[in-house]
Amino acid sequence: MQRFAFKMFLHPGQRDEYRRRHDAIWPELSLLLREAGVRNYSIYLDEATNILFAYLERADDHRMAELPNEAVMRRWWDFMADIMRYEANVPVAIPLPEMFHMD
């Protein structure tokens, strides 16, 4: 299992809408992520900067690289585009290097 963290950027004033949409996440999207090897996925918001911090664990043989080709993923990204920073119809997501881990 691999740990993976990244940051994304929420538009100002969109905190409640972001939460509302994720509280009602589509079951088919959750299933797709699980099938791609994603587990223990959490997203946090730094309200001072509107930076979203995401953490997930993924199987060693995960298929996250295939997610952009999936129709459900594309529809979700289209659904979220008005409240987040996007480039080329994809949310800006910057991987973060692990600096410390304690079991």
In whole angstroms, give the CA distance from residue 30 to residue 41. 10
Q: How far is CA 98 from CA 6, 14, 33, 55, in A?
A: 10, 28, 22, 11
- Asked if 101 is an active-site residue, the reply is no
- Decide if 10 contacts 54 (C-beta within 8 A): no
**Rounded to whole angstroms, what are the CA distances from 33 to 48, 63, 102?**
29, 9, 26
Q: Which of the following is catalytic: 11, 22, 62, 101?
A: 22
**Which residues are annotated as catalytic?**
22
